[in-house]
A and B are shown apart, each in its own frame.
Chain A
Amino acid sequence: MAFYEVYSHPALIRYKTSVCTKATLFLVVVLCLTYIPPLLVAYRSQGFWMKRSTYEEQPVVRFQYQTLLVAATNTQGDYVAWSTFPHLNNMLGANLRIPAVSVREEDQNQDGKLDLLNLQLHLPLKPEEQVYSVQLLLTFSYKLFRMSTVVMQSLAYVQHSSSVPGAKLFISGDLKLQQRTPLPHRGVYNVYNVSVIDGSSPFASAYDLDNIIRSYQNRNLTTVLSCPMPVWTVGRAAGSPFQINAEIRYPVEVISYRPGFWETIKFAWIQYVSVLLIFLWVFERIQRFVFQNQVLTAVPIPVGKPHQS
């Protein structure tokens, strides 16, 4: 006749003691050791408070149709220049050379966000002129919406020079976001929604590339044209214009931000509780051992007659 376990239930044994006993002291110590060390363990193992996190977003970028072009036309330092700023064009005088520019912005995946800028620039040259170097500055309107709403005006700057006169410069690159400090997790961030180039200024110093780049690079949030491989084509035929072809992509960016209060608490809570579970288990075993074996005196009250209430 084989026996088998037909049913089981745990029996609850209560241990009672008065306030001023060793058992009470033990209980206090155990409680402290259970709940405080997990906090210290979680903190000391780094990353308890999440201070920086990242998210992905494709920015809403629009070319602002502001352009500044400087081209050196001989090795002595003569140059021609053009911009979309009337004041600067007036100042340039004889050095002004108006190119033919065509621009197209494409939305390739039809999600309402533009993905690519195609810019073609044909700079007519006089017979004695050759292009040795090109500085091109384009401005963009840059917006992010997912966490904090970022609205800013940004810049792409291309500089290329060669000892051999060129016929064409081809640029294909990404407009990358650069940030020094993380963005806030909410709110409107529009401190940089100011013109990169003050086109209304009649003073020459407003168009000094040094000043423009210096004040731009001072910003926490900038864009930079990452174009590792500009192609400089040599061999321009007489009478043909110098060409600049640019393809600038607006890629998906990984943006770092400072998590908000509840996000920080959430991740800290997860870490705390996962460490706390181990401590709870360990100290539960210790307590059971201590009281079952009467290491510390306490009065056990067995289940006896359970009062169904």
Chain B
Amino acid sequence: MAVSAAVFCLLFLFNAATTNENTTSYNLNTTLGDQNVTFNFMENDTTPQPTEFESTSPTPSSTSTEPPQPAEPLPASGRLPTTVTTVDSVCPCDLHESVCDINCCCDRVCAEELSLFTSCSVDRVSGSQQLCSGDVASYSLRITIDGYSELQASVGEEPNYDILCIQSQNRVGGLSHPPPALPTDSSFDSLFKEFTSFMFGSEERQVSSAELQDSSGYQYGEVMLTADRGVFLLPAAAITADCVDSSPAGFLKDQSSVCSRRVTLQQHCSSLPPLSMNTYTDIQLLAGKNEDAAVIPVQVCSVVLQSVEGTQTELQISDGEDLPPALLDPSLCANVVLQVAYVMKYSPAGEIVNVSVSLVLGSVSEAELTLEQEFHITFVQEDGGEGAVHSSGNPGYVVGLPLVSGTRTAEGIVGSLDPRDTLSLLLSAEQQDCLRGPQQRAPVLFAVDSVSGCTLRLEDAGNCSLVQQLLLDVLRGPNPPQHVASFRNSLLDSPMDWLPIKNNLNPGEAQSCSIPLSLHLEVQWTQYGSLVNPQAQIVSIKEIIQTNTTSLEVLSAGSSTLSISSSVAFIPVSAAALPGYRATPTIDAKLPFDFFFPFV
């Protein structure tokens, strides 16, 4: 429908004659510059009429507006002014009224200032380039014979040597913008909605959803209220690692966050609320969302004191006792909150029944530091929540969850409920020394290969048999488990489901003592069952301890330390699924699986 009604003519050579027919020129002295700026504008027709426009900008779908004759244009918008059509009256660089704009050659008021010009900032104003001959106003500077330069301004027709150009145009508005819809009383809202889909300030400040629900209890993810009509807050890291104190905690959303806080002890030790214990204990929670909901105080479950060196002692604390942070020394602040762990019990009605908090208070001993704080919140059911075992998958293992391990006794397998008490790996610490300091351990996670280690100083390795035993203890950890469940939900009383950890170290044959250099756990696992829900099962687990065969001095190659590594590798032994037909065709000629690709 929108084929232009303009007449296209094949223009070969005969159009070259229609050049500068009515050229007006005026010459003025200026110096010569060299700058090519072309300014085009679409030649507008005088009266836009409602024809079939090929509109590329969205036209309003509202029925009430007819662009040329708006029913009742709003007073501010009114009618559109008549468009400027002739090229010589368009001067886009003429921005100062009745003052000469420098280097603006089309500015009519510039007569004397022309000698200051170096170039024309706009040297060409033309109409549509698609016309075979269109009006062009061109401005240029030229040097005359006596060294002065003069402005040559000319308005004329310029031929277009394109083969497909528009010779004459009888379609109104074909080369101009479609007339915009002027807003009226009735169409203003729909026009406004159409053109302002996104803008600043469109975010509505939403009412918290807690107040919109009818039920008295909380629902998942809702913020919990406190007795003073505030919100229960749990600091968390937001866009940076810094603690954001005003972040609320969501009901039933288990959350653990580690964030940092920059502290100057002199200034902040006793005055900064997030460092003191009662910020986290002196909270009265509302059991539900109602005004008359019961008030649940936070009970202090345990307080652990941590020294500067990192040793922890549990503190017997009576109810309501508070340990405010105290500045003992300009660079020693005691009783600073390091870890906060809330445990909330909830009822099936969505009400909070009990809140308890465990805290770790510590001493920090630097005048200015970035303090790391940990915050945890867990929700347990009112009845039977404590005994819940956190599972690593059901029935197969889930990637990224710890292995289940145990020890065989006469009655069967004994395993710990604590997820931290499982097969674990040495974790690299800042001290790096295998024989010194408390060693940190990280649980072995299913299907996650990892490596870590520590260093052994050769001067410590004098007493070989002692060092051997110490290193083995360090590498294996305290109470190393003997068995690993092949399934996550292997029962404790069915020992056949538990795999023994095979071991290559034979302590009996150690007539010449050897130092273990690495402990490597090799876990073979397989997937079976359906492709959609495969079950992961551990097939075998092997502990490979490498010991030195030559002297330690040779191994360390002159340096005084030796690195001891501890690693785990998970080897999938399951056969990968292959693409193929659901039922193999019985024709012996073998066709590739995607031979009938779009059909099957």
Contacts and interface: CB of A to CB of B under 8 A. Distances in A.
A141 B56 contact: no
- Closest 4 A/B residue pairs (Cβ): A204-B247, A49-B597, A204-B238, A204-B236
Nearest to B236: A204
A274 B15 CA distance: 48
Which of the four size classes fits the interface of chain A?
35 or more
A70 B56 contact: no
Interface string B229-257: 00100001111111011111110010101
Interface string A27-43: 00000000000000001
Interface stretch (B196-204, B280-288, B331-339, B471-479): B196-204
A199 B203 contact: yes
B224 to A, nearest CB: 12
B595 interface: yes
Contacts of B248: 202-203
A77 B368 CA distance: 13
Given A112-B57, A208-B237, A202 B208 contact: yes
A77 B244 contact: no
Given A79-B240, A261-B598, A112 B56 contact: yes
Contacts of A208: 237-239
A70 B237 CA distance: 14
Interface residues of B, number: 39
Contact of B56 (A64, A111, A207): A111
B262 interface: yes
Contacts of B245: 93
B595 A70 contact: no
21 contacts: A49-B597, A62-B197, A63-B198, A66-B203, A70-B239, A76-B262, A77-B240, A77-B370, A85-B203, A90-B246, A91-B246, A93-B245, A103-B200, A135-B239, A141-B197, A199-B203, A203-B247, A203-B248, A204-B244, A208-B238, A208-B239
Contacts of B206: 200
Given A112-B56, A202-B248, A65 B202 contact: yes
A231 interface: no
Contacts of B198: 62-65, 141
B58 interface: yes
Contacts of A68: 239
B205 interface: yes
Interface string A112-125: 10000000000000
Contacts of A65: 198-200, 202
B219 to A, nearest CB: 14
Contact of A93 (B57, B58, B246, B595): B246
Contacts of A200: 206
Interface in B184-241: 197-200, 202-203, 205-206, 208, 223, 231, 236-241
Interface of B: 56-58, 177, 197-200, 202-203, 205-206, 208, 223, 231, 236-242, 244-250, 253, 255, 257, 262, 370, 592, 594-595, 597-598
A215 interface: no
Contacts of B597: 49, 51, 264
Nearest to B205: A86
B239 A81 contact: yes
Contacts of B223: 202
A204 B255 CA distance: 11
A226 to B, nearest CB: 22
Interface in A197-231: 199-200, 202-205, 207-209
Nearest to B370: A77
Contacts of A77: 240-242, 262, 370
Contacts of A207: 238-239
B238 A49 contact: no
A112 B177 CA distance: 11
A84 interface: yes
Given A65-B199, A203-B249, A264-B597, 14 more contacts: A43-B592, A64-B198, A77-B240, A77-B241, A81-B240, A84-B200, A86-B203, A92-B238, A93-B245, A103-B200, A110-B57, A112-B57, A203-B250, A205-B247
Given A90-B246, A208-B237, A112 B58 contact: yes
Nearest to A263: B598
